[in-house]
Amino acid sequence: MKLLVCGAVALLLVVTAFVWVRPQLPAKAPERASAAGANSSVAPSAANLEMWADFLRRDSSPMVAYSNDVFLRTGSSDLLRVKSQEVGNLGASADTDLASSVSNNPQLLLHAGPVSFDDTYTGTGEVMGVYYLMRMFGPRATLKVKRSRLVTTDDLSRHDFIFLGSTRANELLLGLPLRQDFVFDWPRSGGMWEGRVTNLHPQNGEAKYYDIERDPKTHTLRNDYALISFLPGLAPNRRIVVLAGLTTIGTQAATEFATSEEGMAELAKHLAIRSQSANNRLPPFFQALLRVDIVRSEILNVSYVTGHAIEPSQQVAQRR
């Protein structure tokens, strides 16, 4: 739970003041955040503008949706994860039968006492993601921000959307008929570190699965995998972007990569070749897989693994 922060408070802090500086990373990593950069507009490079051009249209009205987990909260403020995000609003009591049916681990309820629903949490990576997007767009676009539980299909038809966070905490996103080659898969048991990225159409040299790696002795995370997905929207001329990792750290890495000059150049270099595009132009729709190396819960390095151009007419991915 240490990676979780109160969504409303955290987002307010992102917008009003940013005073944290990350340790120096390798030169080839995407641009790192700084306290000075938070208070000034950073103009997107040519690569950024090409990538995000549709979100700068007057009729785009871009909206950012950040992951919004739901928990059962005990009287002592312990948080118990639930199977579905579509249950209970803030403070609503959950009787024994309801709590047992939605809890990932009903055994934990035996001595928990009364529990109620709490939907005020998001991840630290989602908070940082909002910051990176606001820094990149600056005054060029007015970003509306909404927690994912409140997003409707009507919103998706009226706005270009940027989802921060994976399908684990975005049930609407999980149910959308999106065309994808890479998807997040989660075990039925709901194991925190057991998710994986599945490659539905492996090409030469690509793996079928990409799993979180942990230290065999301490079990601390060594690496995460993240996806940058630029996909067709549900309505004509609408787009959906998903910036997400298997953990919230991966979400942070994906967003920083997708909004940095170095990250955009890296994507253009690889995906232009894969899509046989001239002049290193990115395909309009694509997915890129990133490996995120982690040390002491911090991002050490982010590297491009592989990517696929997405054809709007290809078969819709089936996700779990």
Domain contains 193: yes
Judge if 82 and 200 occupy the same domain. no
Q: In this structure, are 97 and 225 located in the same domain?
A: no
Q: What's the whole-model pTM score?
A: 0.81
**Do residues 91 and 235 share a domain?**
no
Asked if residue 76 and residue 57 are part of one domain, the reply reads no
The residue type of 177 is: P
In a domain, 215, yes or no: yes
Average pLDDT over residues 37-63: 66
| Whether residue 56 sits in one domain with residue 80 | no
Domain-located, residue 219: yes
Q: Is residue 316 one of the residues assigned to a domain?
A: no
Of the three residues 120, 154, 180, the one that is the final residue of a domain is 120
**Domains in the chain, number:** 2
Backbone phi, then psi, for 172, in 5-degree steps?
A: -65, -45
Q: Which domain holds residue 250?
A: 4-68+121-309
Average predicted confidence (pLDDT) for the chain: 80
Mark whether 84 and 221 lie in a shared domain. no
Give yes or no: residues 260 and 277 share one domain. yes
Tens digits of residue pLDDT in 98-157: 888 888 788 888 888 899 988 888 899 999 999 999 999 888 888 899 998 889 989 999
Q: Tell which wins on pLDDT, 63 or 28.
A: 63
Whether residue 154 is contained in a domain is answered as yes
- Does 314 reside within a domain? no
- Are 151 and 205 part of one and the same domain? yes
The percentage of residues in the chain with a pLDDT greater than 90, rounded to a whole number, is: 40
**Going by C-beta distance under 8 Å and a sequence separation of 6 or more, which residues neighbour residue 191?**
none
Residue 157 domain-assigned (yes or no): yes
Is 284 a member of any domain?
yes
Q: In this predicted model, which residue has the larger pLDDT, 209 or 80?
A: 209
Q: DSSP E strands: which ranges in the chain?
A: 4-6, 63-66, 69-74, 79-81, 93-94, 115-123, 144-147, 161-164, 182-185, 196-199, 209-211, 213-214, 221-232, 239-245, 286-295, 298-309
110 and 160 co-located in one domain = no
* Of 120, 136, 156, the domain-final residue: 120
Asked if the model's pLDDT at residue 219 lies above 60, the reply is yes
Each residue's pLDDT tens digit, 115-130: 998 888 889 999 999 9
- Residue 19, pLDDT score: 32
Q: Are residues 80 and 212 in the same domain?
A: no
